[in-house]
Amino acid sequence: MKEFTYRIEDENGMHARPAGKLATFAKQFSSRITVKTDKKEGDGKRLLSLMSLGAVCGTELHFLIEGDDEAAACEALERFCKESWCAESGK
Amino acid sequence: MNVKNESGALFHGVGINNGCVSGKLKFFQRGRTGVEIIADMPSAGVPDVERARLERALTQLRGRLSELYRRTLADVGEQEAQIFEIHAMLLEDEDFTESLEREIANGCRAELAVQNTAQQYAALLKGLDDPYLSARAADLSDLSEQLCDLLNGTERRVQEKGGEPYILVAEDLAPSETVSLDKSEILGFVTFGGTPNSHTSILARAMGIPALVGVGEIAPRFDGCLALLNAADGSLTVCPNESQVRAFQIKQREENELAKEHERYLRSLINKPAITRGGHKMLIYANVGEAHEIEPALLNGAEGIGLLRSEFLYLSMDRYPTEEELFESYRDIVRKMQGKRIVIRTLDIGADKQIPYFDLPREENPALGFRGVRICLAREALFKTQLRAILRASAHGSISLMVPMIVSVEEVHRCRRLLDECCAELQNENIRFDPNLEFGIMLETPAAAIMSEELAAEVDFFSVGTNDLTQYTLAADRQNPQVAEICEENREPVLRLIAQAADAIHRHDGWIGICGELAAELQLTQRFADMRIDELSVSVPYLLGVREKVTACK
């Protein structure tokens, strides 16, 4: 199992668009991807599940990745969070 | 909210877009929205049958959503079109589809499965603490209603083709309904509910349709009645009498002609100086955040740039930009200015503007926290990189340097010291810069205004950031709707602080500009002229209007 933590910098938090992008990106991996906050837990490949986390700016998202491609998935997801998500919120 | 008059009724709401339209009211009829759970077919509730019906409806809705996306993208814009992209994603979501399947396997009719599922997730989203996410519950309801209509074969008829254009009246409109409105058949719309910030209002604004929202209930007996909608003053006159109609027609014609005439007049002002009738000259500058905004600013008569938000390069990167990268971007911008003055504000991040790689600590109260010059003075290397880049760019045009969030003379001294160090370094390295570069500060804290006499002795100019000055003076966050009114209604304390600073800087032969939103408020222009404000810096769309207002001032 691989894991990493990402703090949401987007001032809008886990809104529909970033959640949708994250879910779409996560779907390319076969590993099971779980996203936890200190209160809730969601499926990283599912939009509604991610939105229901109610994660706001500053929330720490703890990613747990388990499966055949966990190493690649972990690295790619961490990069995705830092690059794509932030670039998105820069607008 | 309605007032009866002798012939009809008068309603008031919040107007979206300007414009006067007259036409017949048409009340929006949705198809059957409630689900009738009657076993009208022997096959009702048979999972295989319901599954096939649902699958067909889902395919149709997916097609419709991608059509709505394309249409909105073409007619309105990408931001607005994304609403439908999200709708399509919600439809594909496994939590959503699995719940549908569970309901159907349990013997539910497809309509009921859709309603139960949408309600369940809408309730979940509504329960979240975040107002944006709770508002997404409405998107689920929109999807659910569209699916039920497709299942029932009831079309939500927004409008009938070929009839005469009309004013649409609805309790509320879903985003999918709003963009489906055919602009050739609809003159405007009126909704009982809604706020200026709801999706529907945003779409209407982008589509340029005159609308009134939050009007309150309009009795169904007015369906089909003639009405006059004036989005500019937020009024709707239903069943007007003849004289009201005539007055309205004249107003409509006048508005059209005036709009054209006014546009021509504004264009003629572009190259004329803005001088009040009393002879006070004010420079009209533009606020810009990126290089590509400079050309439109100059085309609309900007005599300079009063605020370049220098964060743009930092925001677009995932690491600190180098001095060379900063220098090149500032130099390119300065060259576009054709010798006109450009005021570059040094890094103003923190508070509402965050950059991940700056790795700033999370704060309880960011507006009163580690931001602007406070970060720059704590991270001198970062600040000096930017100062050197700006100094180097100053060899290529007319730059003024401005530091945000100053509260004390001490901070000015520290900034000056760093600037002097950079100048000395560049001199040693034989790199060109403008040794007479103007140095100024943003006046955006009450402390700076109160200390303006001492500060004026140290700097070449002040530029008033009215947005922050207002919220710090009144202790009210204007983004918070519950207290925003306090900011709107209490201009006087802020204006007095500005007047005090203007007197101070003029005594020291410096100049003062205003670059916050108040600079574009035309009812304050006279007051600013009276204070002998030297420069008003506004965003591009306001440039000509402010220029016109100055020439009309005493």
CATH code: domain of residue B64: 1.10.274.10
Closest CA to A67 of A27, A32, A26: A32
In a domain, B40, yes or no: no
Closest CA to B117 of B135, B90, B153: B90
Cβ proximity of B506 and B532 under 8 Å:
yes
The verdict on ipTM greater than 0.95 is no
In a domain, B258, yes or no: no
Task: Establish, for the pair of chains A and B, how many residue pairs have beta carbons separated by less than 8 Å.
Answer: 68
Question: Which tokens hold the place of B268?
Answer: 């003629």
Per-residue pLDDT of chain B (554 residues; tens, 9 = 90+): 444 444 578 999 888 877 788 899 988 876 544 444 444 555 667 888 889 889 988 988 888 888 888 777 766 667 777 788 888 889 888 899 999 999 999 888 898 999 999 999 988 888 887 777 777 887 888 888 888 888 887 655 554 555 788 898 988 887 777 777 766 788 888 998 877 666 677 677 766 688 998 898 898 889 889 999 988 888 999 999 888 888 888 888 887 777 777 777 877 888 789 999 999 999 999 998 878 788 888 988 999 999 998 887 887 788 899 999 999 999 999 999 989 999 999 999 886 677 878 888 888 888 899 999 999 999 999 999 999 999 999 999 999 999 999 999 999 999 999 999 999 999 999 999 999 999 999 999 999 999 999 999 999 999 999 989 999 999 998 767 778 788 888 999 999 999 999 999 999 999 999 998 899 999 999 999 999 999 999 988 789 889 999 999 99
- Matching residue, tokens 């937020």: B234
Q: Which domain holds residue B101?
A: 47-152
Of all residues in chain A, the one with the smallest CA distance to B364 is A58
- Pure H helices in B429-538: 446-450, 452-456, 466-474, 484-489, 491-507, 525-530
- Catalytic positions of B are 199, 515
Q: Which of B92, B130, B356 sits opposite A54 (nearest CB)?
A: B130
Of all residues in chain A, the one with the smallest CA distance to B85 is A17
Measured distance CA(B122)–CA(B508) in Å, rounded: 62
Left, alpha or beta for B511 (phi > 0: left; psi -120 to 50: alpha)?
beta
Smallest CA–CA separation between B69 and chain A, in Å? 15
Q: Which of A20, A49, A54 sits opposite B128 (nearest CB)?
A: A54
Of all residues in chain B, the one with the smallest CA distance to A80 is B318
Interface of A with B (CB under 8 A): 7, 9, 11-17, 20, 23-24, 43, 45-49, 51-52, 54, 56-58, 82-83, 86-87, 90
* The total number of residues written for chain B in this structure: 554
Question: What's the structural domain count of chain B?
Answer: 3
**Interface contact A58-B128, CB threshold 8 A:** no
Q: Which of A20, A23, A48 sits opposite B121 (nearest CB)?
A: A48
Q: Which of A14, A24, A46 sits opposite B94 (nearest CB)?
A: A46
* C-alpha distances in Å from residue B41, one per residue of B37, B38, B50, B105, B150: 11, 8, 11, 18, 17
Smallest CA–CA separation between A61 and chain B, in Å? 15
**Interface contact B93-A47, CB threshold 8 A:** yes
Q: Which of B96, B133, B316 sits opposite A15 (nearest CB)?
A: B133
Closest CA to A80 of A37, A20, A1, A36: A20
Asked if B311 and B460 sit in the same domain, the reply is yes
- Matching residue, tokens 């990408």: B78
**Interface contact A46-B124, CB threshold 8 A:** no
CATH topology of domain A2-89: Histidine-containing Protein; Chain: A; (3.30.1340)
Cβ proximity of B314 and B356 under 8 Å:
no
Whichever domain contains B529, its CATH number is 3.20.20.60
Smallest CA–CA separation between A58 and chain B, in Å? 7
**Interface contact B86-A24, CB threshold 8 A:** no
In a domain, B275, yes or no: no
Asked if B202 and B218 sit in the same domain, the reply is yes
Smallest CA–CA separation between B251 and chain A, in Å? 40
Smallest CA–CA separation between B316 and chain A, in Å? 7
In a domain, B270, yes or no: no
Q: Which of B85, B318, B352 sits opposite A86 (nearest CB)?
A: B318
**Interface contact B356-A86, CB threshold 8 A:** yes
Asked if B356 and B464 sit in the same domain, the reply is yes
Q: Which of B91, B121, B152 is the last residue of a domain?
A: B152
Of all residues in chain A, the one with the smallest CA distance to B319 is A83
**Interface contact A83-B85, CB threshold 8 A:** no
Residues of chain B contacting A16 with CB distance shorter than 8 Å? 86, 89, 133, 136, 139
First to last CA, chain B: 39
First to last CA, chain A: 35
Strands A32-36 and A41-43: antiparallel
Asked if B72 and B16 sit in the same domain, the reply is no
> What are the boundaries of each domain within chain A?
2-89
Measured distance CA(B410)–CA(B505) in Å, rounded: 18
The angle at the Cα of B382, spanning B362 to B467, to the nearest 5 degrees, equals: 60
Interface of B with A (CB under 8 A): 82, 85-86, 89-90, 92-96, 121, 124-125, 128-130, 132-133, 136, 139, 315-316, 318, 352, 354, 356, 362
**Interface contact A82-B124, CB threshold 8 A:** no
In a domain, B42, yes or no: no
In a domain, B458, yes or no: yes
In a domain, B269, yes or no: no
Who's near B344: CB < 8 A, 6+ residues apart? B308, B310, B330, B390, B399, B400, B401, B402
Asked if B135 and B196 sit in the same domain, the reply is no
Measured distance CA(B82)–CA(B499) in Å, rounded: 45
Q: Which of A9, A20, A51 sits opposite B356 (nearest CB)?
A: A9
pTM over 0.80? The answer is no
In a domain, B320, yes or no: yes
3-state secondary structure of B398: strand
Asked if B98 and B161 sit in the same domain, the reply is no
- Pure H helices in chain A: 16-26, 47-51, 70-80, 86-89
Residues of chain A contacting B365 with CB distance shorter than 8 Å? none
3-state secondary structure of B157: coil
Asked if B426 and B397 sit in the same domain, the reply is yes
Q: Is the pLDDT of residue A11 over 80?
A: no
Of all residues in chain A, the one with the smallest CA distance to B317 is A87
Asked if B112 and B167 sit in the same domain, the reply is no
**Interface contact A11-B354, CB threshold 8 A:** yes
Q: State pLDDT tens for residues A45-83.
A: 999 999 888 888 888 999 999 999 999 999 999 988 887
Q: Which of B137, B152, B167 is the last residue of a domain?
A: B152
Residues of chain B contacting A24 with CB distance shorter than 8 Å? 89
Residues of chain A contacting B139 with CB distance shorter than 8 Å? 16
Position B323 scores a pLDDT of 96
SS (H, E, C) B212-279: EECCCCCCHHHCCCEEEEECCCCEEEECCCHHHHHHHHHHHHHHHHHHHHHHHHHHHHCCCCEECCCC
* C-alpha distances in Å from residue B289, one per residue of B78, B256, B293, B313, B317: 20, 33, 7, 10, 15
Asked if B469 and B527 sit in the same domain, the reply is yes
Cβ proximity of A51 and B130 under 8 Å:
no
Asked if B130 and B167 sit in the same domain, the reply is no
Position B66 scores a pLDDT of 83
